[in-house]
């Protein structure tokens, strides 16, 4: 059985060879050597490519048993590898030649002809001759492979299947009853009320889900973690994948990071890793008096040893906090009071249901039902196996295919081994039907440690850097290539609770590790290195100590080396210099997961001339060697978390860079970054007045995508550089989705500031636009060009202190979020703001006004959405912060959108200006430092200094205020605490939904509302308000929302 070694770094050998032949022809033509025998040889190879491609394509998809064919494939593989290396050498010399200084005509002619030395041309001709000889034999195998290839191929890419949780309903209900002892807590009460209800109980409750591998422990934990009631009831949620080597310090760091990442999702790539590398992890402060839900997934014996220390860090949390542990062994004897839920194997009848769900989706095929039942009986009670085999059966809803799976010899061949790995037969069968390129991809994913959640984009970039794609003409690549999604749809890799993060089940890893075809191998402390590593192409080193003899320097074929751990390595740089091979084959080197820090990277890296991926992030290096600037094929460079004072001037020679991951302070040190014209990712560009750092460097960076922040724009606005902004040519950057323009100080001239921004018009497909500290009095016309911006959804204007007039934004058909902040000179928002269209802001969901101290009114002009036109609940959030002079007199045409308003936030100092808004809302909810108040706008205008007139409200802590009463906690009768205050007889929230149109007709009535610390409000069939929850930093410790509909 062959076929597994056909791919060279993940791309078909046929594609490598075809690319080589094309390059060879162009080089020989340029040197005027394409004549005679050489021309005949190239012609013969090109003629054989059609058959060669067809043979390799079939062999890649179908295993073939034939000794002669096996030997032929090994020769093809060797030639393809040599061809790729030769092409790399040609590319390096081409770049070197193009970067040399301008020379005289004679020298230029000589250099053109001496670009490739005779030795290079000899290698090229020799390789062509060998290829000519072996390609001519491809036709001999065509009939053989045709017999092995079925006419009807299997589905190449599986459609997604709706996730349905089967087989663990009992355990799920048991867990929910433990988390929420009182059922009402799960359905109706948010975190603060849950905290009150659970007083007197243990602060932290520990629950352990115990079961063997593959029975669904992690899947069950994910269902509970993502349950809406759990999300609503806990202030903090966190998920940590544990490692066998973790100590208490590592546990605490990971727990802190998981809480922080859940509270503040990262927009930047690899954000979780950035947080984990931080030196500040104050877990006790993070959870102080908060109710948390924490999952410790895949716990090992080390949790028993470290639990006492970890538990001490969790004691400051609020009552009712939960730690949910998944483990294969009983670790609860080390956890006093822990509750154990054991997962047994699933009955065959339930497995059959799981299998058919993943095989059929929403369809059914009666002729296959009985075969599916037979297969379910061979799965040893594991839902993982049912899911994997079900996805395999889905690739071809054909009786022959299903019978082939059911009658596979693997079910019997592994009968003696299923005791240690019950999933072995099912996973092996799934891999047997998997294309060989996908096997290699799966093998690559399996090299990562179990506790490491690999990033989709990072994994994709690693794999692309192992391919031939860098020789294609197009520089812009789509990173989310489909192979990772296909592995996910086949359940061979699993998604996690973190967006874009994935893992491979340990049972699948064991099977993949036993397949030599993948060429991937992991060296760790649990297994001794293989004596023979000659066939290893990709390698992970996961060890405590790198100062051991790994014998890697002799592995000249290794293309990827990934390092993990190394926390006991005392002399890291020396160790790495002795480990890393001096190899032209090395394409990917990742040092970002090494625990020990170093000041400078190993010098041996500079000798790896074919390196494409280098990640030095979080290694602690403070200098970037000049010799690294000779890595001309480098496509991805990671330098996050590194602090440099200077960078080599020749970094701009890394012209193949696509992705450059570094902080703004590092990026600002790169001279003439504009020469890196293939860059696709650049998080921030800081403008400087120095040559090589001006805004003109952006001119040729037309492949930039994602987010770009341009800072220090005040340095553009000077007499000699005003026109430089025009040369940034942002409108040509068609892949850019988010743009932020920032001025950091007062510009030299206001006219220059205005002219600068007028030349920074981005492409029309932009989705997010932010402008900060702009000092012009007006924005340029392009901001209001609705014909140009067809997909703009988010706009934020902040700190524009000289701005006196807002652009017409009401005609933005897709605008969902509008934030106006710190616009000190804006006094009136006039009709020009709405634009000339009859229907304005049709998609607006959130509108925020903040720090607009001179803003006085919104006029009775324009409208948001007519009631009869509103097909959806569009504007759901209105926020007014620190707008002291506000006199809002909302017109009737604005009231239609307030019918759907879910959230109104008005600070105490702003409420006096709300006049006509009492018609739709009745009361304005005003959070203050002393507590929540519900105030009728007409009453608010009568309030005098030191006295606030408030409606009655109830609070979880038992405080009560009634109209005319000064601030201060008061005792409240139990009847009133339940919601029957005489001052507000209808403010109690109904338990049952009330239907009808009475609520909408009754806008003039006082809105029914309650004040409650950290309470969440949701809509109840359009008939009133409920209370919602949030918390802010600073002097206002308690923050209150009203959600209105």
Q: 254-286: per-residue pLDDT in tens?
A: 888 888 877 655 444 445 555 555 544 578 788
SS3 state at 261: helix
Pair 1018, 1044: CB distance under 8 Å? no
**Per-residue confidence (pLDDT) for residue 971, from 0 to 100:** 42
Q: What is the pLDDT of residues 328-348, one digit of tens each?
A: 876 666 676 778 999 999 999
In whole angstroms, what is the distance from residue 669 CA to residue 655 CA?
A: 17
**Per-residue confidence (pLDDT) for residue 144, from 0 to 100:** 62
Q: How many domains does the chain have?
A: 2
Average pLDDT over residues 764-793: 91
Q: Exposed, middle or buried: residue 89 (CB in 10 Å: 0-12, 13-18, 19+)?
A: middle
**Do 192 and 265 fall within a single domain?**
yes
**Do 45 and 116 fall within a single domain?**
yes
**Per-residue confidence (pLDDT) for residue 1035, from 0 to 100:** 32
Question: Lowest mean pLDDT: which of 65-74, 435-444, 859-868, 937-946?
Answer: 937-946
Single out the residue in 148, 181, 196 at which a domain terminates. Answer: 148
Helices and strands (DSSP H and E) totals, the chain: 33, 30
- Asked if residue 136 has pLDDT above 90, the reply is no
Closest CA to 842 of 807, 818, 826, 806: 818
Name the one residue in this structure whose structure tokens are 């440099």: 644
The H or E element containing residue 743 is none
Beta-carbon contacts of 644 under 8 Å, excluding residues fewer than 6 positions away, are 622, 623, 624, 665, 666, 669
Half-sphere CA count of 238, side-chain side, radius 13 A: 28
In whole angstroms, what is the distance from residue 239 CA to residue 378 CA?
A: 33
Q: What is the pLDDT of residues 150-175, one digit of tens each?
A: 434 444 455 555 556 778 889 999 99
Q: What is the pLDDT of residues 504-513, one digit of tens each?
A: 998 899 888 8
> Residue 972 falls within a domain, yes or no?
no
- Top-confidence residue, 947 or 930: 930
> Residue 1019 falls within a domain, yes or no?
no
- Other Cβ atoms within 10 Å of 290 Cβ, number: 17
Average pLDDT over residues 26-36: 76
Buried b (16+ CB within 10 A) or exposed e, 223-251: bbbebebbebbbbbbbbbbbbbbbebebb
> Residue 33 falls within a domain, yes or no?
yes
- Asked if residue 899 has pLDDT above 70, the reply is no
**Per-residue confidence (pLDDT) for residue 73, from 0 to 100:** 76
Closest CA to 562 of 538, 543, 583, 540: 540
- Top-confidence residue, 813 or 7: 813
In whole angstroms, what is the distance from residue 316 CA to residue 235 CA?
A: 14
Q: Which residues pair with 1042 in a beta bridge?
A: 904, 1027
Pair 929, 1037: CB distance under 8 Å? yes
- Asked if residue 584 has pLDDT above 50, the reply is yes
Closest CA to 371 of 347, 346, 404, 395: 404
Confidence of residue 867 (pLDDT cuts 50, 70, 90): very low
Question: Lowest mean pLDDT: which of 77-86, 277-286, 345-354, 1027-1036?
Answer: 1027-1036
**Do 263 and 118 fall within a single domain?**
no
For strands 953-954 and 960-961, give the pairing. Answer: antiparallel
- Asked if residue 1044 has pLDDT above 50, the reply is no
Half-sphere CA count of 1006, side-chain side, radius 13 A: 19
Total-model pTM: 0.79
**Per-residue confidence (pLDDT) for residue 154, from 0 to 100:** 45
- Asked if residue 879 has pLDDT above 50, the reply is yes
Q: Exposed, middle or buried: residue 87 (CB in 10 Å: 0-12, 13-18, 19+)?
A: buried
> Residue 598 falls within a domain, yes or no?
no
Q: Retrieve residue 919's tokens.
A: 């018609």
Question: Lowest mean pLDDT: which of 97-101, 126-130, 322-326?
Answer: 97-101
Beta-carbon contacts of 479 under 8 Å, excluding residues fewer than 6 positions away, are 457, 460, 461, 464
If you ran DSSP here, which 8-state letter would residue 205 be given?
A: E
Pair 951, 925: CB distance under 8 Å? no
Confidence of residue 1000 (pLDDT cuts 50, 70, 90): very low
In whole angstroms, what is the distance from residue 382 CA to residue 347 CA?
A: 9
Question: Lowest mean pLDDT: which of 475-479, 541-545, 1037-1041?
Answer: 1037-1041
SS3 state at 220: helix
For strands 924-927 and 932-935, give the pairing. Answer: antiparallel
The H or E element containing residue 711 is strand 706-711
Closest CA to 673 of 717, 628, 719, 728: 728
**Do 264 and 212 fall within a single domain?**
yes
**Per-residue confidence (pLDDT) for residue 866, from 0 to 100:** 39
**Per-residue confidence (pLDDT) for residue 114, from 0 to 100:** 45
- Asked if residue 440 has pLDDT above 70, the reply is yes
**Do 60 and 23 fall within a single domain?**
yes
CATH of the domain at 173: 3.40.50
Q: Retrieve residue 404's tokens.
A: 């082939």
**Per-residue confidence (pLDDT) for residue 101, from 0 to 100:** 53
- Top-confidence residue, 849 or 723: 849
Q: What is the pLDDT of residues 784-822, one digit of tens each?
A: 888 888 899 999 999 998 999 899 888 788 899 999 999
Cα–Cα–Cα angle for 617, 527, 550, rounded to 5 degrees: 60
The H or E element containing residue 806 is none
Beta-carbon contacts of 538 under 8 Å, excluding residues fewer than 6 positions away, are 443, 444, 447, 466, 519, 520, 521, 558, 559, 560, 588
Cα–Cα–Cα angle for 928, 1024, 975, rounded to 5 degrees: 70
Question: Lowest mean pLDDT: which of 14-23, 220-229, 615-624?
Answer: 14-23
Task: Print the SS3 string covering 84-99.
Answer: HHHHHHHHHHHHHHHH
In whole angstroms, what is the distance from residue 535 CA to residue 889 CA?
A: 77
**Per-residue confidence (pLDDT) for residue 943, from 0 to 100:** 38
> Residue 108 falls within a domain, yes or no?
yes
Pair 688, 673: CB distance under 8 Å? no
Average pLDDT over residues 234-262: 82
Phi-psi region of 922 (alpha: psi -120 to 50; beta: other; left: phi over 0): left
- Top-confidence residue, 596 or 507: 507
**Per-residue confidence (pLDDT) for residue 349, from 0 to 100:** 92
If you ran DSSP here, which 8-state letter would residue 773 be given?
A: S
Question: Lowest mean pLDDT: which of 623-632, 698-707, 856-865?
Answer: 856-865
Confidence of residue 497 (pLDDT cuts 50, 70, 90): confident
Q: What is the pLDDT of residues 291-338, one digit of tens each?
A: 999 999 988 877 777 788 888 888 888 888 999 999 887 666 667 677
- Asked if residue 108 has pLDDT above 80, the reply is no
Pair 709, 685: CB distance under 8 Å? yes
**Per-residue confidence (pLDDT) for residue 282, from 0 to 100:** 75
What integer best gives the mean pLDDT of the chain?
73
Single out the residue in 118, 148, 178 at which a domain terminates. Answer: 148
**Do 99 and 236 fall within a single domain?**
no
C-alpha torsion angle, residues 505, 508, 512, 518 (rounded to 10): -50
The rounded radius of gyration (Å) of the Cα atoms in the chain is: 33
Confidence of residue 452 (pLDDT cuts 50, 70, 90): confident
In whole angstroms, what is the distance from residue 174 CA to residue 787 CA?
A: 56
**Do 98 and 129 fall within a single domain?**
yes
SS3 state at 238: strand
Q: Retrieve residue 811's tokens.
A: 């005609």
Q: Write the CA distances from 664 to 52, 633, 650, integer angstroms.
A: 49, 24, 19
Closest CA to 283 of 311, 307, 253: 253
Dihedral sign from CA coordinates of 74, 79, 82, 84: negative
In whole angstroms, what is the distance from residue 926 CA to residue 906 CA?
A: 5
Percentage of the chain modeled with pLDDT above 90:
24
Confidence of residue 870 (pLDDT cuts 50, 70, 90): very low
Q: What is the pLDDT of residues 386-435, one digit of tens each?
A: 999 999 999 999 899 999 999 998 898 777 777 778 889 999 999 988 88
Confidence of residue 655 (pLDDT cuts 50, 70, 90): very high
> Residue 608 falls within a domain, yes or no?
no
Average pLDDT over residues 958-968: 38
Q: Range of 220's domain?
A: 169-277+295-342
**Do 108 and 43 fall within a single domain?**
yes
Average pLDDT over residues 821-847: 78
**Do 185 and 135 fall within a single domain?**
no
**Per-residue confidence (pLDDT) for residue 658, from 0 to 100:** 93
Half-sphere CA count of 889, side-chain side, radius 13 A: 8
- Other Cβ atoms within 10 Å of 534 Cβ, number: 9
> Residue 191 falls within a domain, yes or no?
yes
Question: Lowest mean pLDDT: which of 137-151, 372-386, 452-466, 554-568?
Answer: 137-151
Pair 538, 560: CB distance under 8 Å? yes
For strands 538-543 and 520-524, give the pairing. Answer: parallel
**Per-residue confidence (pLDDT) for residue 741, from 0 to 100:** 96
**Per-residue confidence (pLDDT) for residue 905, from 0 to 100:** 56
- Top-confidence residue, 127 or 894: 127
**Per-residue confidence (pLDDT) for residue 372, from 0 to 100:** 94
Confidence of residue 213 (pLDDT cuts 50, 70, 90): confident
- Asked if residue 197 has pLDDT above 90, the reply is no
**Do 214 and 317 fall within a single domain?**
yes
The edge-to-edge listing of strands for the beta sheet with 903-906 is 684-686, 706-711, 736-742, 768-772, 794-798, 817-821, 846-850, 877-881, 903-906, 1039-1043, 1026-1030
Q: Which residues pair with 771 in a beta bridge?
A: 741, 797
In whole angstroms, what is the distance from residue 647 CA to residue 625 CA?
A: 8
> Residue 39 falls within a domain, yes or no?
yes
Average pLDDT over residues 171-181: 92
**Per-residue confidence (pLDDT) for residue 738, from 0 to 100:** 95
Closest CA to 670 of 703, 637, 641: 637
**Do 178 and 319 fall within a single domain?**
yes
C-alpha torsion angle, residues 524, 528, 533, 538 (rounded to 10): -10
Average pLDDT over residues 537-562: 74
Catalogue the long-range contacts made by 108-117 (C-beta closer than 8 Å, 24 or more residues apart): 112/30, 113/31, 116/27, 116/31, 116/90
Pair 754, 775: CB distance under 8 Å? no
Closest CA to 386 of 398, 396, 376: 376
Single out the residue in 342, 359, 380 at which a domain terminates. Answer: 342
Closest CA to 208 of 306, 300, 301, 323: 323
Confidence of residue 13 (pLDDT cuts 50, 70, 90): low
Average pLDDT over residues 666-680: 94
Average pLDDT over residues 972-1000: 38
Closest CA to 794 of 834, 847, 831: 847
**Do 223 and 314 fall within a single domain?**
yes
- Asked if residue 616 has pLDDT above 90, the reply is yes
**Per-residue confidence (pLDDT) for residue 840, from 0 to 100:** 72
Beta-carbon contacts of 95 under 8 Å, excluding residues fewer than 6 positions away, are 632, 653, 655, 656
């Amino acid at each position: 059985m062959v076929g597994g070694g056909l791919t060279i770094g993940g791309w078909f050998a046929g594609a490598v060879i075809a690319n080589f032949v094309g390059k060879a022809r162009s080089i020989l033509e340029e040197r005027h050597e394409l004549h005679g025998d050489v021309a005949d040889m190239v012609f013969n190879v090109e003629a054989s490519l059609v058959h060669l491609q067809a043979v390799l394509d079939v062999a890649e998809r179908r295993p073939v048993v034939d000794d002669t064919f096996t030997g032929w494939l090994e020769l093809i593989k060797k030639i393809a590898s040599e061809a790729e290396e030769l092409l790399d050498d040609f590319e390096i010399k081409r770049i070197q030649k193009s970067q040399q200084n301008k020379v005289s005509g004679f020298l230029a002619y000589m250099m053109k002809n001496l670009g490739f030395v005779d030795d290079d041309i000899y290698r090229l001709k020799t390789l062509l001759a060998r290829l000519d000889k072996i390609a001519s034999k491809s036709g001999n195998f065509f009939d053989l492979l045709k017999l092995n290839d079925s006419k009807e191929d299997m589905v190449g890419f599986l459609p997604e299947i709706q996730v349905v949780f089967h087989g663990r309903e009992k355990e799920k209900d048991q867990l929910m009853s433990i988390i929420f002892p009182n059922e009402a807590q799960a359905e109706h009460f948010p975190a603060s009320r849950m905290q009150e209800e659970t007083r007197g109980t243990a602060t932290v409750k520990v629950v352990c889900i115990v079961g063997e591998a593959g029975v669904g422990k992690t899947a069950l934990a994910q269902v509970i973690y993502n349950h809406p009631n759990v999300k609503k009831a806990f202030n903090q949620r966190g998920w940590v994948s544990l490692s066998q080597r973790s100590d208490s310090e590592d546990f605490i760091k990971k727990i802190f990071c998981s809480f922080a990442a859940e509270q503040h999702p990262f927009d930047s790539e690899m954000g979780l890793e950035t947080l984990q590398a931080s030196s500040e992890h104050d877990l006790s402060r993070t959870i102080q008096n908060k109710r948390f839900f924490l999952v410790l997934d895949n716990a090992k014996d080390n949790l028993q040893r470290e639990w006492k220390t970890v538990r001490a860090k969790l004691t400051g949390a609020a009552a009712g906090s939960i730690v949910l542990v998944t483990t294969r062994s009983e670790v609860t004897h080390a956890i006093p009071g822990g509750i154990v839920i054991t997962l047994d194997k699933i009955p065959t009848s339930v497995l059959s249901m799981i299998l058919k769900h993943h095989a059929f989706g929403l369809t059914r095929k009666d002729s296959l039902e009985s075969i599916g039942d037979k297969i379910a009986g061979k799965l040893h009670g594991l839902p993982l196996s049912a899911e994997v085999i079900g996805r395999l059966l889905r690739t071809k809803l054909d009786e022959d295919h299903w019978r082939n799976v059911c009658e596979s010899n693997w079910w019997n061949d592994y009968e003696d081994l299923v005791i240690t790995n019950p999933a072995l037969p099912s996973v092996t069968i799934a891999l047997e039907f998997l294309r060989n390129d996908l096997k290699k991809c799966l093998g690559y994913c399996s090299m990562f440690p179990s506790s490491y959640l690999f990033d989709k984009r990072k994994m994709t970039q690693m794999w692309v850097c192992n391919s031939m794609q860098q020789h294609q003409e197009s520089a812009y690549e789509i990173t989310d290539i489909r192979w990772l999604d296909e592995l996910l749809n086949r359940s061979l890799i699993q998604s996690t609770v973190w967006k874009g993060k994935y893992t491979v089940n340990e049972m699948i890893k064991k099977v993949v590790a036993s397949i030599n075809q993948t060429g991937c191998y992991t060296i760790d402390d649990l297994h001794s290195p293989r004596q023979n590593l000659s066939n290893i192409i990709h390698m992970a080193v996961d060890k405590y100590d790198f100062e051991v003899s790994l014998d890697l320097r002799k592995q000249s074929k290794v293309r990827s080396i990934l390092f993990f751990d190394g926390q006991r390595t005392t002399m890291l740089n020396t160790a790495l210099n002795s480990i890393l091979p001096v190899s032209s084959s090395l394409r990917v080197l990742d040092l970002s997961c090494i625990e020990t820090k170093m000041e400078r990277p190993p010098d041996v890296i500079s000798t790896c001339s074919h390196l494409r991926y280098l990640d030095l992030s979080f290694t602690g290096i403070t200098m970037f060697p000049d010799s690294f600037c000779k890595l001309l094929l480098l496509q991805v460079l990671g330098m996050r978390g590194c602090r440099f004072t200077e960078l080599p001037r020749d970094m701009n020679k890394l012209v193949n860079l696509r992705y450059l991951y570094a902080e703004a302070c590092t990026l600002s040190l790169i001279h003439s970054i504009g020469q890196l014209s293939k860059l696709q990712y650049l998080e921030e560009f800081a403008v400087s007045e120095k040559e090589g750092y001006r805004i003109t460097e952006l001119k040729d960076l037309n492949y930039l995508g994602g987010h770009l922040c341009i800072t220090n724009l005040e340095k553009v606005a000077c007499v000699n550089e005003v026109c430089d902004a025009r040369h940034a040519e942002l409108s040509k950057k068609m892949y850019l989705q988010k743009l932020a323009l920032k001025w950091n100080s007062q510009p030299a001239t206001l006219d220059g500031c205005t002219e600068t921004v007028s030349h920074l018009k981005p492409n029309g497909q932009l989705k997010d636009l932010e402008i900060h500290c702009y000092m012009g009095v007006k924005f340029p016309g392009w901001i209001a060009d609705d014909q140009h911006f067809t997909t703009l959804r988010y706009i934020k204007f902040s700190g524009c202190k000289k701005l006196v007039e807002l652009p017409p934004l009401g005609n933005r058909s897709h605008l969902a979020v509008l934030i106006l902040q710190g616009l000190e000179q804006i006094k009136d928002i006039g009709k020009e703001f709405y634009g000339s269209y009859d229907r304005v802001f049709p998609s607006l969901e959130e509108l925020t006004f903040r720090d607009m101290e001179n803003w006085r009114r919104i006029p009775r002009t324009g409208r948001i959405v007519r009631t009869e036109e509103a097909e959806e609940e569009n504007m759901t959030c209105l926020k007014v912060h620190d707008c002291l002079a506000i006199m809002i007199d909302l017109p009737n045409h604005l009231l239609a959108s307030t019918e759907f308003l879910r959230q109104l936030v008005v600070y105490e100092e702003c409420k006096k200006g709300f006049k006509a808004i009492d018609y739709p809302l009745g009361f304005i909810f005003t959070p203050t430092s002393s507590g929540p108040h519900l105030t009728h706008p007409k009453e608010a205008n009568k309030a005098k200094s030191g006295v606030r007139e408030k409606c009655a409200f109830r609070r979880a802590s038992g405080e009560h205020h009634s109209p005319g009463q000064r601030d201060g906690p008061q005792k409240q009768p139990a009847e009133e605490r339940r919601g029957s205050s005489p001052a507000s007889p209808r403010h109690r929230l109904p338990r049952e939904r009330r239907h009808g149109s009475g609520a909408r007709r009754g806008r003039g009535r006082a809105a029914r509302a309650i004040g409650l610390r950290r309470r969440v409000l949701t809509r109840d069939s359009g008939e009133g308000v409920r209370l919602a929850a949030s918390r802010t930093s600073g002097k206002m410790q308690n923050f209150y929302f009203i959600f209105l509909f």
